[in-house]
A = this chain, B = another copy of it.
Amino acid sequence: MTAKRVLTERAQALPALAECFRTHGFEGASLSLLCAASGLGKGSLYNFFPGGKAEMMEAVLAQIDDWFAQAIFAPLEQADDPATAITAMMAAVTAYFHGGGRVCLMGWIGLSNARDGFAGQVEGYFARWIAALARCLKSGGVAAQSAMRHAEDAVAGMQGALVLSRALGDQAAFTRLIERLRMALLDALAAA
């Protein structure tokens, strides 16, 4: 018999920690909450993350970036059919953010003071997203400058949709906004 619970890799604890950070924010997620969310004691958490909360958040953001890289960014960059790729992106984003019910940790951290400690990760995430989307539009014949504008508008628009739908307590607003962002991108492709 091994101990009660053995996690050979700290990565197994990351999803629960991520959800705790998403729910309470960086300052609001206390170690007690993070312990409760992950089912681990403080000793175990510090064994995996000697740097404490900051190292946990760093690892969480890294995993989020990895997930987006494979599920969102790569398909955009390698798209055969740009229009289909954009529709797939919006569907994936809607699923990931639970239709507006889940916060974007990257965007949230960017607003906060804790931003300074994770600025590189946050900036890289959004820069890659915009670049991947712009590349997809260009592959569909959209002029470089126009593609960059539309990509920037769309990524900002998705963040705005998350903020607004949560503020209004209205997830249907998220769906409406995302659908109109999708149409705007498809229109840009159609006009090219």
Contact = CB atoms under 8 A, between A and B. Distances in A.
A46 B148 CA distance: 50
B152 A164 contact: yes
Contacts of A23: 113
Most buried by B among A111, A149, A163, A167: A167
Contacts of A127: 168
Interface in A111-126: 111-115, 119, 122-123, 125-126
A42 interface: no
Given A27-B25, A27-B27, A160-B156, A167 B106 contact: yes
A90 interface: no
A155 B164 contact: yes
A159 B159 CA distance: 8
Contacts of A25: 25, 27, 111-113
A167 B122 contact: yes
Contact of A111 (B115, B155, B166, B177): B166
Interface string A133-170: 00000000000000001001101111111111011110
A156 B164 contact: yes
B160 A163 contact: yes
Contacts of A119: 169
A173 interface: yes
Contact of A110 (B107, B158, B166): B166
B163 A111 contact: yes
A10 interface: no
Interface of A: 23-25, 27-28, 103, 106-108, 110-115, 119, 122-123, 125-127, 149, 152-153, 155-164, 166-169, 173, 176-177, 180
30 contacts: A23-B113, A25-B111, A25-B113, A27-B27, A27-B28, A28-B112, A28-B113, A28-B114, A103-B111, A107-B111, A107-B163, A110-B163, A110-B166, A110-B167, A123-B168, A125-B167, A126-B164, A126-B167, A149-B180, A152-B176, A153-B157, A153-B177, A153-B180, A155-B160, A156-B164, A156-B173, A156-B177, A157-B157, A157-B160, A163-B163
